[in-house]
Amino acid sequence: MDPPEPAAPDAASTNWDPLVAALPPPTSGCLRRLGHELSGLRTEPLPGIQVAPDEEIATMVHALIEGPEGTPYEGGLFHFILLATPNYPHEPPLARFMTTGQQQVRFNPQFYTSGKVCLSILNTWPGPGWNPSFSFRVVLLQLQALMNSCPALNEPGVMMMSNPEEYNSFLRHETLRVAVLGNLEMAEETLRDEGSAPEPGAPLPPVVRPSAALPVEPWRDPTADLGLEEVQTKAGAKDWWILEFWTSKK
């Protein structure tokens, strides 16, 4: 059973969604500011966060956040899309969380299965709002901060499952299933489709599809007590990257 998901205050609206929002062309000031910020993120990258501009949309940015150590997200890669609105930075960017297991996994009280990110500086949640002095760097740091050791307490008044540790157990399982094995399987398919063999240590592309290797059982990790050979059978681990991941964790 998945954790309960309260409706967002504007759940029927999609004006928060960078993939569907109808926006006018960006101003020249927006493009200059965003170019300056991306240059800064390249020269002074954020620890645990990889950023890349979209190949087709000039104002769209992809971010891959590594699950912080010591949290239930550890080991996972989480994909976000940010879109600078036409009058950015005088209005906040739009944001969408992409690693949702086909809109089935609530990875955080403030990351909805629809992909909506509830954050006050994005004007999608009550609290201190956007300030033109803020930047994509500030937004990314806030997103990373939400992926903490006790995310069940991120949203006041809303308890995910019966207690925080129960929710953490759910997150650890789904991080392995969706944000680790799902990413690795999609990378394998992508590389196979392109006809190129992976090199050990090569970066993995951001993906959103969950792995079918592990069952959707949020209450326990079905691989916790297994050895490497049993994990190979259960997860279909036939290629170097899944084997490398598992042996590094054992």
pLDDT digits (tens, 9 = 90+) for 151-185: 998 876 666 666 889 999 999 999 999 999 888 88
Which of 30, 63, 64, 118 does the annotation list as catalytic? 118
Separation in Å, CA 5 to CA 9, 91, 98, 152, 186:
12, 28, 17, 12, 27
Confidence of residue 53 (pLDDT cuts 50, 70, 90): very high
Chain centroid to CA 67: how far? 9
Active site residue 118: yes
Q: Which residue has the higher pLDDT, 226 or 200?
A: 200
CB half-sphere exposure, 228, CA atoms < 13 A: 11
User: For the chain, how far is it from start to end, CA to CA, in angstroms?
Assistant: 28
| pTM for the whole structure | 0.74
Return the minimum-mean-pLDDT range out of 24-33, 50-59, 107-116, 178-187: 178-187
Return the minimum-mean-pLDDT range out of 7-16, 84-93, 125-134: 7-16
Confidence of residue 186 (pLDDT cuts 50, 70, 90): confident
